[in-house]
Chain A
Amino acid sequence: MKNMTLKLLIWRQKDANSPGEMVPYTVENVSPHMSFLEMLDVLNEKIIKEGGDPIEFDNDCREGICGMCSLVINGIPHGTQHRTATCQLHMRHFKDGDTITIEPFRAKPFPVIKDLAVDRSAFDRIIAKGGYISVNTGSAPDANSIPISKEAADLAMDAAECIGCGACVAACPNASAALFVGAKISQYTFLPQGKPEAKRRALRMIEQMDAEGFGNCSNHGECEAVCPKEISILNIARMRREFLKAAIR
């Protein structure tokens, strides 16, 4: 494969309080082996050399696990490749001459900080309300004292894989955080350690999710389709079950 020239339409916004707009750029000599973020690096280097203001985008691990990248590429959070965070999306999936639009994750609880960087601290505030098992350091019994079936451990892990990127919110037509919250609540439903505070966890996390201003889940399932970890919306069903149990009891 040879190198490509791409046209980009990128959301530029000076800061949280300024209006933004889509700005066109051209980037040349894009190797198909580059990752999407490396392509943006190349563009930024060019912008800097030309005396411009480089595009801000959040990123950190660049191996698909930290969840910091937050780009909507051609209308899909993290782009068209399934099970892939933006940083692991490679340019070999694009063609020479393509036009690519890049926008930030958009939701009321995810305000733009600058350009493509958004504030996702709403997720931290939700976790603070119950995304854990309340156990102090030092008080744990032997790790093998409570057997947990392999199936349960695997299901807990499926839910626990969430990287907290917020693509689920970004893709949801309603900007709902149900998959993120559902995954965390779900993880603990499979583990005996999670049971004692299940009720409190579900109620408090959902209350905080609402307080942040995320929308209702209408079961479109877009979240699952863009999730880099393919977290199933069955976890949302589990969250609702936990909520019902908590509300009834």
Chain B
Amino acid sequence: MASKPYDTTFLTTVGKKIVMAITGLFLVIFVVEHMLGNLFFLVGADAYNEYSHKLLSLGPLLWAIEIVLLAAFVFHAFYGISITLYNKSARPEKYKQLRSAGKPSRKTISSTTMIYTGLILLIFLVIHLKSFKYGTYYSTVVNGVEMRDLHRLMVEKFSTPLYTFGYVAVMILLGFHLRHGFWSAFQSLGANHPRYSAGIYTLGVFIAIILAIGFVAVPLWIYFTQ
């Protein structure tokens, strides 16, 4: 192996986690961007539709981004599931009793439920794409340009309690996923240092909270005001 490491690098336990980290961080960037975009909704219907129109008119660049995103999702999900199954097999005989030893352990409800929050996010993603990307096409005209009226679709979707609170719940789970996922990605990449480790850890918590709040703000606002 030492002579040609590239053969198996990303099949080792360490390599798999590096893939998880890189894809995960890429997805974090995407999610942050997505959340900020959503906030245009609060500016007004036209602003939101114009923003989404700009994105949609990126053309081939959008395709490229979407392909990379899809790849990141697929790898992240596939590796995540495979790692979890493998880890189960590493301890065939379970403990009768096992508990956390407390600090400095970073084991939390977030860290132990990554596979569950991850799987829910995966299912959510399918529903989400179906609802919006491939959802009903309403059109509108802003400043003389004909474009998709996503604002209307949003208002429609988030006026039903099931969809709204389901969405809110999933976004809270996303927060949980990121609370461990964010700093864990840095740790998995070896990008950790005594001077920054506490900072990265705290930043992870911060990002998780901000994202969850950012994502649930719009649906709740729609549900309660429109």
CB within 8 Å for A214 and B90 given contacts A240-B17, A243-B190: yes
A229 at the interface (CB under 8 A from B): no
Question: Which residues of chain B are within 8 angstroms of A174 by Cβ–Cβ distance?
Answer: 87, 90-91
A222:B100 contact, CB within 8 angstroms: yes
A225 at the interface (CB under 8 A from B): yes
Interface residues on A, range: 35 or more
A173:B87 contact, CB within 8 angstroms: yes
Interface residues on B, range: 35 or more
B40 to chain A, nearest CB (A): 35
Question: Which residues of chain A are within 8 angstroms of B15 by Cβ–Cβ distance?
Answer: 243, 247
B144 at the interface (CB under 8 A from A): no
B189 at the interface (CB under 8 A from A): yes
Per-residue 0/1 for B138-155: is the Cβ within 8 Å of any A Cβ (1 yes, 0 no)? 000000000000000000
Q: Report the bound CA distance from A173 to B107 in whole Å.
A: 9
Question: Which residues of chain B are within 8 angstroms of A242 by Cβ–Cβ distance?
Answer: 190
Question: Which residues of chain B are within 8 angstroms of A247 by Cβ–Cβ distance?
Answer: 5-6, 9, 15
Q: Report the bound CA distance from A216 to B87 in whole Å.
A: 6
Question: Which residues of chain B are within 8 angstroms of A236 by Cβ–Cβ distance?
Answer: 187
Q: Which among A24-32, A44-52, A62-70, A100-108 touches the partner chain? A: A100-108
A84 to chain B, nearest CB (A): 11
A203 at the interface (CB under 8 A from B): yes
The B-contacting residues of A in range 175-233, CB under 8 angstroms, are: 175-176, 178, 199-200, 203-204, 206-207, 209-210, 213-222, 224-226, 232-233
Q: Report the bound CA distance from A82 to B105 in whole Å.
A: 11
B133 at the interface (CB under 8 A from A): no
A205 to chain B, nearest CB (A): 10
A246 at the interface (CB under 8 A from B): yes
Q: Which among B124-132, B191-199, B212-220 touches the partner chain? A: B191-199
A222:B105 contact, CB within 8 angstroms: yes
Chain B residues near A (Cβ < 8 Å): 1-2, 5-6, 8-9, 12-18, 83, 86-87, 89-107, 111-112, 114, 180, 183-184, 186-194, 197
